[in-house]
Amino acid sequence: MKTFTAEKRPRSTNQRDVSRIFLICTSLFIFLFIFGTSSEVFAQEYFQQEVNYNIHVSLNDQVHELNAFETLEYINHSPDTLHFLYFHLWPNAYSSNNTPLARQLFPFYGKEKLFDDPELRGFIDSLNFEIDGRKVPWELLPGQPDICRINLEVPLISGDSVRITTPFRVKIPKGVTSRLGHIGESYQISQWYPKPAVYDQAGWHPMSYLDQGEFFSEFGRFDVRITLPVNYIVGASGNLQTDSEIEMLDKLSADTTWIKTANSAGTDFPASSKQLKTIRYTADKIHDFAWFADKRFHVQKGKVILPNSGREVATMVLFTNQQADFWKKALSYVNEAIRWFSSKIGDYPYQSFTAVQSGLTSGDGMEYPGITVIGLAEDAYSLDEVIAHEICHNWFYSALGSDERQFPFMDESITSTYTDRYLKEKYPGKKLWEVYVKNRKLAKFIHIDKLPIQRMQELEWLVQARNNLEQPINLPATEYTELNYVLMIYNKAATAFHYLRAYLGDSVFDSAMQEYYIQWKYKHPQPEGLRVILETQSGKDLSWFFTDLLGTTKRLDYKMVRIENQQLLIKNKGELVAPLFISGLTGDSIFFEKWVDGFEGHKWIDLPPGDYSEIKIDPGHVTPEISRINNNINKTGTFPRADPLQTQLLFSVNDPETHTLMYMPAINWTRENGFMLGMAFHNGFIIPKPLEYFVMPFYAFGNSDLAGFGRVAYNITPYDKFIRLATISLEATQFGAPGHQNYRKVKTGLELHLRNEKMTHPLNHSVFGNYIAASNLFQIELQEKAKMNSYLQFGYLLEKPGLVNPFTLLASFESGKSYQKTSVEFNYKVSYFGRDNGLDIRLFSGIMLKNDPDVPFYAFSASGRSGRQQYLYQGTYPDRFSVFPENFFSRQMTLSEGGLVSPMNDSLGYSRWLFSMSFTSNLPGKAARFPVKPFLNLLLNDHGATVGQNSPFFYEAGLKTGIWDFFEIYIPVLVSKNMTSAGGAFKNRIRFVFSLDSFNRLNMSGKR
């Protein structure tokens, strides 16, 4: 507030009146401001609602249904009067293909029958909401059948409660879609009962059930009775209260005779007992209840003493014969994890914990209060890892009930951080190859035998980061792509919290997180609450972490520059201004470690004295550095900043700290070159790099010449710009040609991939421009010495990738000395049921803007071009210059432009304009398993074929078969008359495609 000083002069009566009015108005304004603001602040004070449940449910395993009755008490702790309540009816997510769940699954897994299949369909019905015996009006939300709104005839005032009852029936879907389901008579019952949505300071949080994106619910008490055949074994949230069931589980746990026969015993379900039992579970201060039932479970029970309070927690594992070898030690995995997490965060919040092995299809494991369900594990280590992760969720999900849909990092990321830390301490020498390669000799051969298991987390994230496809860590779950939900929330975010812990130190970090747990236990924490505690406990401003590292995709990239006078110059090449960690090393010995506050630009850093030979940034890979190749410098030597070079035969996983030169023997053959022997050199395909190269020179024994191909590309990834990725490339090709000469091609290009406003947007945009110099094909045909011709290409590519109705639209312009042409090509797949079934549609339209009739093959080709018609030498052709149909290789073609298979270009000529349509489909029904597809090609162009058959319309239909897009044989069976007269015998219409384009796109195209 600024203070204004009045001028010291006598005031008139009018002036005094004005002053009084001003003072009164000012006082009134201040009064209203204070009290108005206060009421707003008071309205924003923390509160949380309470929901207490009493549910009696029975399982009918003959029809896979639940029949239940629910009574719940909803207590309004908010300062507001509620006129309605939102309820989640999440089993309805499986009710049709128009639910949010179905719409989410289609792009991820392909357009399958999903919930049109009666086995996959699930729902909740028979609802009849009542309050005090009177029916309550309610309705489903439009487009969200898994959410309803209950209208309260009597408003629920602050501090009051309401008792709501309803029966309900749940049709349990086959458990292959998401978390709720059954596999045979093994039941995973989760998100199964009517549940009020959360109401807090931000209002209501009604959310549809989704596979990607978890939950947010109110805390309260549960009293649940489950009725089912007596020979079922059940694991559930809460504490078992039925003495007979406790006694039965104790007996099963004591019986270990199954161990000797576990591997040989079958997994069939025994018949269900006709006798029923009812078992009761109770729990307090939980926000969800799940249960799992199977007649084949083996049981192991134990207990763990918590380190802080000395309280005893009952533990249990339930598993079948399917992976009994792995699960024999699962109880110890459970007990050790509970004890460790309790020591680091605070005592385990509940009285019991159960781990269940079951038919999970949504991730490796899924957490619920006091219980977890675990899918099939690859080995014992993987089982220990996923059990530890799900146990840790009892702190960060169950007790600290954050909004997982809005802030998944507060749950999954922190849980992953503690899981990583626990496993690193438990398995200190665990190597990456032990889990991912499982062959030590192979690991040693490809130089990954020394990489720790934690390095995979970094390598996976680097692929996305260097493609400039990251998303901020603090987004809602629904705003992530499927890949980024994993790589950002589990990988990068876990690294971020490791980074924060290393910066603050274990003592400060652990103390802060323990305080966070104490303050927010059984509440709904927000990110700001976590930040306040961490900053208060550490005494540091953590804006770099919460605002920039979690809230943006700013990149961390510090670079060593030089050493002078016991000082080190470091440059911040990235956008993230965050703490920097350096170490002085000699071999594996550490002489000093030092944290430096983040900075922009350059900074000189004082170095301590000592007999160390090398200085490194973050040698332990704690921080999310996007480029480690510039993170080391030697104190002495001619080239102190020389980065290490590692050579590797065949392939290797790229070590971020080294330049890797990979090489492999290569052989080739063409008609002109004969047998060729060569070597391929590259710097890796998996992790993108600013500079990428692939060079494959050959020595040709047929003409004693050199041949080969090479490509060098430089990738630029601007931060937060309209252009996401710019690739500048240079390619060169040389192979033999008729007339004892070589054809040559040099291509330089620029490709710009544009950034979508939202990463989840289904469309990708890119533009490109190429300059090409290539040997004159017309002169090669005449066996003259070929000169180099110049060409320009420009284009725009719009594509929708994915499994459901993908398409590409390519608009291009090309010019040479004697021609100009433009074209549009559209490829669309109408997806049938399943991933690979569909109708492929191709539309092509082209027109010559300028044409030289003396060199006709620059115009548009009606049918696929053979090698001798490729004036830009596209594709891989063993016998590029053969004349159709003199040998087998002369039948090779590249389908483009007009798209006809039958060889018409020589007889029909080339077109000034044309329009073509092509259709290819899978065979119907079970016949789709055979690798045969019918096709139909239609063509309209500017001239006919022969006198008397001069229709400009052509068609052909036939079958194709082959291996993916790598090798395919096309057999036109039915053709139009104008093609019959021009194309000759049936056998001459059979042609094939041999393409390595898919491998080239994967490896070196830069199209990411």
pLDDT in tens, 234-261: 999 999 999 999 999 999 999 888 777 7
Predicted pLDDT of residue 711: 97
DSSP secondary structure string, 872-934? T--S--TTTTPPTTSSGGGGB-B--TT-B-S--HHHH--BSEEEEEEEEEPPSGGGGGSSEEE
CA atoms within 13 A on the CB side of 533: 18
Radius of gyration of the chain (CA): 35
pLDDT in tens, 268-289: 899 999 999 999 999 999 999 9
Predicted pLDDT of residue 944: 60
Task: Burial-class residue 489 by CB neighbours within 10 Å (0-12, 13-18, 19+).
Answer: buried
What is the pLDDT of the chain when averaged over all its residues?
90
- Please give the share of the chain, as a percent, with pLDDT higher than 90: 79
Only one residue has tokens 């501090």, namely 159
Predicted pLDDT of residue 7: 30
Sheet bearing 632-634, strands edge to edge: 589-596, 580-586, 614-617, 632-634
Only one residue has tokens 């590029």, namely 880
Judged by average pLDDT, the poorest of 112-121, 204-213, 397-406 is 112-121
Give Dmax (Cα) for the chain.
Answer: 117
pLDDT in tens, 903-934: 988 888 899 999 999 999 998 878 888 889 99
Predicted pLDDT of residue 928: 80
Residue 640 pLDDT more than 90? no
Predicted pLDDT of residue 15: 37
3 state SS of 672: coil
pLDDT in tens, 728-746: 999 999 999 999 999 999 9
Average pLDDT for residues 487-513, to the nearest whole number? 97
d(CA 878, CA 735): 10
Buried/exposed 356-380: b ≥16 CB within 10 Å, e otherwise: bbbbbbbbbbbbbbbbbbbbebeeb
pLDDT in tens, 436-493: 999 999 999 988 999 999 999 999 999 999 999 999 999 999 999 999 999 999 999 9
Predicted pLDDT of residue 642: 67
Helix pair angle (493-504, 412-426), 10° resolution: 70
d(CA 511, CA 507): 6
pLDDT band at 40 (very low <50, low <70, confident <90, very high): very low
Helix (DSSP H) and strand (DSSP E) numbers for the chain: 19, 48
Buried/exposed 51-76: b ≥16 CB within 10 Å, e otherwise: bbbbbbbebebeebebebbbebebbb
Of the two residues 42 and 835, the one the predictor is more confident about is: 835
CA atoms within 13 A on the CB side of 713: 26
d(CA 961, CA 920): 11
CA distances from 754 to 63, 483, 639, 823 (A): 52, 19, 39, 22
Predicted pLDDT of residue 906: 86
> What are the beta bridge partners of residue 370?
none
Instruction: Look up the pTM and report it.
Output: 0.91
Of the two residues 14 and 68, the one the predictor is more confident about is: 68
Predicted pLDDT of residue 831: 86
- Cβ proximity of 97 and 116 under 8 Å: yes
- Cβ proximity of 640 and 563 under 8 Å: yes
Residue 37 pLDDT more than 60? no
Residue 87: partners with Cβ closer than 8 Å, 6 or more residues away: 138, 147, 148, 149, 150, 194, 195, 196, 197
pLDDT band at 264 (very low <50, low <70, confident <90, very high): low
- Cβ proximity of 753 and 724 under 8 Å: yes
pLDDT in tens, 553-592: 999 999 999 999 899 999 999 999 999 999 999 988 999 9
Kindly report whether the peptide bond that precedes residue 579 is cis, defined as omega within 30 degrees of 0: no
- Cβ proximity of 577 and 598 under 8 Å: yes
Predicted pLDDT of residue 263: 62
